[in-house]
Amino acid sequence: MFNYRNHRYFINFLVLVVTLGLFGCSPSEPQKSPTPTSSPTSSTSGIPEQKLETSSLTIGILSKPSYYEELTTYLRDKLGNKVQIVIDGDESIPYEEARKRMINKEWDIAFTLSPILSVAAKNNDYHFAARMFPNNPPYYQATLFTKSTSSIQSLNDLKSTNTIALGDFNSASSFYVPAYDLFGKSLRVDMGHRGKDIKDLVKTGKADVGAAAYEAVTNDKDLRIIHLSKEIPGSNVYLSPKLSESDRQIITKILLNAPDNIRKQANYGGGEESDYSQLIKISQRTEEILRCANFQQNPVNFYCSDSYPDQKFSISNNTSEILGRINGWTRQANEIETFKLSGKDNTVYQIIVPRKILNQISGASNPIALQGKEVKIINIVPQKAQGGIFELKITEPNQLNILEDIPKSSIQSNYQVKQVDDGDTITVTDVSNQEIRVRFACIDTAETPKSDAEKNSDNPADKNQFLWGNKEKERLESIIKIGDQVKLNIVDTDRYGRKVAEVRLEDGTFIQQILVKEGLAMIYRQYLKNCASAAIVEQAEAEAKQQGLNIWADSQFTAPWDWRSQKKSSKKS
């Protein structure tokens, strides 16, 4: 009985095996384990890594970097370890600086924040990727506001003795549209501020009137709105024309497929590109209204008087380089701008610039912004026109250069190197043998461990930061030896008492340039205004990024300022 039962069970088992074999696999195809339908090569979240042609991505922002940290992590997850991702910018960056970085194609992904900067992106051939603030209405309004206790009730109450706080020339809600609405007024102007600062100036009585977006003011009980503007289109996210079409498609898809919480934190989402045609018309009309305005002297007239002076024009024989100051502007046609230039040689010229070229000139966000600016014209021969006027016709963006104020600095020799502290800090002694700590201007390098806890940290971000920090320090030690003489171009003193300086060897070798060019340092853009040799390090960084050298080849590398910010946040929590 026992043998019979075992035999029956064995027969049933064979039948089961044969049945599974017939229906569970094909004799002509090997059996496969279950795989995701997308791709066998997947990121940690189960979505396949996308391969880009570019080896680095710079995300340009005008708000807090913390808003984009999760997005950066998400992008690294989707793009793999072959792409270096860097966040560039913060809430303190001036709009004109953001525009400059788009002109120079330094930002691969631009979160423009301002519709005027969205227009600047389009003017420089950037491609639409996503809408910013997608949960807000597609249009918003600018306001003019006062303190809730002010006697000013409407625009009619404004007098030439009143002070208005405005944003900079690239702000739609705090400059362009309010200036349009202030036509015919004469006011004292305090400009160049961000929204929060404008509100504070009004609340503290330092300004009588302020300009800002409606949403920033409407719920503030200490402020009263006295005027609402026409509708203003929102801002967008744009991708650099330097990226290939394939890369732009991949990045756009990844951005739009990001989890809701990441898109919400970074303030972007799907939707159609805003129509900026009406805003462009308003901005051009504003520029015409303000063509006579002198923002260097108060009060400012938001109109042109009938007695606007004409200039007499004459000849200069200097055709290689012409220096002078812009002191007038007219619009010949919708796409042609004309400026009056008072030359250093006491000659007056007429500069003619197509609007498309003006949009690509750093520092020339609009004609108004050029008023009173020192400029340099190169490689143009003055042409005699009707009435004996000599014209300078700009055909390339690099022919018109806006001269910015260079920070006062002092170049001194006779400093002897005593110690290399890290990749961007050294200790030197002067002729009296006094020790001076020197922080390199223009750049930032990875941090080195300062304690046993940091040396023994298991955090991958810490390990990577210290790995590069030590490499950069070693490279600096190979360039500068103890006892070497160096020249310092001191431009500032930081909050730690260190002298901030450009550092050169006795033969003129620029140390910062070497480190950046080798991909062992990054430009510290937050403080680049204090860098007299900014153009040199910017060119060096562009070359290092293009070649994918050192930190630019390491997708796990975190920019030093971001790493410090993350460490600071973790300590608070």
Q: Name which of 509, 504, 484, 499 is nearest 419 in CA terms.
A: 484
**Residue 506: Cβ-neighbour burial (10 angstroms; 0-12, 13-18, 19+):** exposed
Same domain, 397 and 433: no
Residue-wise pLDDT for 340-388, tens only, equals 887 777 777 888 999 888 888 877 777 877 877 888 888 888 887 766 6
Q: Where are the beta strands (DSSP E) in 345-389?
A: 348-354, 374-378, 383-384
In a domain, 384, yes or no: yes
For the residues 208-218, what does the mean pLDDT come to?
Answer: 94
CA distances from 151 to 148, 156, 158, 216, 541 (A): 9, 12, 10, 22, 54
Residue-wise pLDDT for 163-207, tens only, equals 999 998 778 899 989 988 998 899 999 988 888 899 999 999 999
pLDDT at 32: 34
SS3 category, 227: strand
In a domain, 29, yes or no: no
Same domain, 149 and 248: no
Mean pLDDT of the chain: 83
Query: Is the pLDDT reported for residue 98 higher than 80?
Result: yes
Same domain, 268 and 364: no
Same domain, 481 and 533: yes
Half-sphere exposure for 211 (CA within 13 Å, toward CB) = 28
pLDDT at 109: 98
pLDDT at 37: 31
pLDDT at 573: 60
Domain boundary (371, 402, 433) is at: 402
In a domain, 34, yes or no: no
Contacts (Cβ under 8 Å, ≥6 apart) of 321: 376, 377, 378
In a domain, 322, yes or no: yes
Residue-wise pLDDT for 231-244, tens only, equals 899 999 999 999 99
**CATH number where 511 lies:** 2.40.50.90
Strand partners, 427: 419, 437
**Residue 314: Cβ-neighbour burial (10 angstroms; 0-12, 13-18, 19+):** middle
Same domain, 144 and 227: yes
How many other CB atoms are there within 10 angstroms of residue 207's CB atom?
A: 25
Same domain, 390 and 484: no
The number of domains in the chain is 4
Give φ, ψ of 330 to 5 degrees.
Answer: -140, 165
Residue 274 corresponds to which tokens in the numbers above? 């805003």
**Contact between residue 188 and residue 164 where contact means Cβ atoms under 8 Å apart:** yes
pLDDT confidence tier of residue 47, bands split at 50, 70 and 90: low
In a domain, 248, yes or no: yes
Domain boundary (372, 402, 432) is at: 402
% of the chain at pLDDT higher than 90: 45
Same domain, 397 and 372: yes
Domain boundary (375, 402, 429) is at: 402
Domain containing 488: what range? 410-572
Query: Is the pLDDT reported for residue 22 higher than 60?
Result: no
**Chain centroid to CA 37: how far?**
39
pTM above 0.75? Answer: no
Same domain, 229 and 249: no
In a domain, 495, yes or no: yes
Q: What region, left, alpha or beta, does residue 571 occupy, with left being phi > 0 and alpha being psi -120 to 50 degrees?
A: alpha
Same domain, 222 and 244: no
In a domain, 370, yes or no: yes
Same domain, 396 and 486: no
Same domain, 254 and 175: no
Residue-wise pLDDT for 310-345, tens only, equals 444 344 444 468 888 887 777 766 688 888 887 777
Query: Is the pLDDT reported for residue 19 higher than 60?
Result: no
pLDDT at 360: 84
Query: Is the pLDDT reported for residue 33 higher than 50?
Result: no
Same domain, 179 and 70: no
Distance CA 194, CA 199 (A): 9
Query: Is the pLDDT reported for residue 40 higher than 60?
Result: no
For the residues 5-32, what does the mean pLDDT come to?
Answer: 42
**CATH number where 72 lies:** 3.40.190.10
In a domain, 388, yes or no: yes
